[in-house]
Homo-oligomer: A and B are copies of this chain.
């Protein structure tokens, strides 16, 4: 019983801190999400120590609530993203994602190699540099109200492709770590993932249009909302099951339902879930920001260089990939793809667990993740406000 009191109190604290800091940042004309992450840092082990990720039994609960939050976030963003419009910029997204994977990988790989580490270590660092964490950028685009811009669509499309490429890179690198790459496994991953994405793009929307009018036999209140939630959770589980990020599934589920959004008012109905659950994702992320790496002075040089490469890799790679949209939009896309978030950490921790990378290299990756995550929201907000990016339809 005391335990549930403590857990409810923690949730109250996180929610209150997120909303207060969000309010402050909105007043500063900044995205609320910066405030929410800072709220987590303040509550976390390096400032007040009120929320301790080391207390695994309770923290695991907060992580699950955070995961549900980010699933709701990406689903809601999917609801505002029509598949047809995504397909129109599909070529650009593919180009952005591909270059944005190749450059950071080689930057990370080559830099690590020159600092007296072996090939496997260097490949792991390269792999940790690859995957963009779309949660941050998507939330910033949503906070700034430019989700229906071409820039947003290219970023979201590229983030999905990026997650797939990242999965393949990780499979190659862990294969190397275990002694041999399994080409069968690689092919399996590729077909599984490609099948999932193609199914959604080609069949998903038509299926929904067929099914929707037949669902009026349901007597439950808000049956359409319930079905949308089932769709959202179902695709998240499916994506997670084939080792994609659950949020990729949630985003796709949202896109499929985007056509019905206006008619069935999903965005409005999901708004309360968004307001309640999404902040937990960013607060929990904030509590996990490991500030101790900033005090490891022997590493700070390498960490700064690697972080610079991580930023330049995406800026140049994604910027060049989006070059045909013009300098303004290409640079926004480059910046939007910078944050690495939890995916980089997961890759590094797999490497650490396999004994493939040292704890020093692990700390350097954490530093890179923290800096790219914290820099992106203010950078994007500043670029967008100073350039007054219009809502341009293509």
Q: Which of B22, B67, B269 contacts A220 (CB 8 A)?
A: B22
CB atoms of A12 and B272 under 8 A apart: no
CA distance A7 to B9 in the complex (A): 23
Q: Is the interface of A mostly helix, strand, loop or mixed?
A: helix
Contact present for A237 and B269 (CB under 8 Å): no
Asked if A229 lies at the interface with its beta carbon under 8 angstroms from chain B, I say yes
Interface assignment of A290: CB less than 8 Å from any CB of chain B: no
Copies of this protein, total? 2
Query: Among A197-205, A238-246, A315-323, which stretch is in contact with chain B?
Result: A238-246
The yes or no answer to A26 lying at the interface (CB within 8 A) is yes
**A110 nearest CB across to chain B (Å):** 29
Closest-CB distance, A74 to chain B (whole angstroms): 13
The verdict on A15 contacting chain B, using a C-beta distance below 8 Å, is yes
Report which of B8, B15, B219, B233 forms a contact with A67, defined as CB distance below 8 A. B8
User: Is the CB–CB distance between A5 and B220 below 8 Å?
Assistant: no
Give the chain B neighbours of A11 by CB distance below 8 A: 68, 233
Interface size on A, residues (CB 8 A): 50
- Please state if A219 and B272 are interface contacts (CB–CB under 8 Å): no
Contacts of A1 in B (CB 8 A): 240, 243, 346
- Across the A-B interface, give the 5 residue pairs with the lowest CB-CB distance, nearest first: A5-B240, A12-B233, A272-B272, A23-B220, A8-B237
Residues of A within 8 A of B (CB): 1, 4-5, 7-9, 11-12, 15-16, 19, 22-23, 26-27, 32, 57, 60-61, 64-65, 67-68, 71, 218-223, 225-226, 229-230, 233-234, 236-237, 240-241, 243, 246, 269-273, 275-276, 346
6 of the cross-chain contacts (CB-CB < 8 Å) are A12-B230, A23-B220, A23-B223, A57-B60, A225-B275, A273-B276
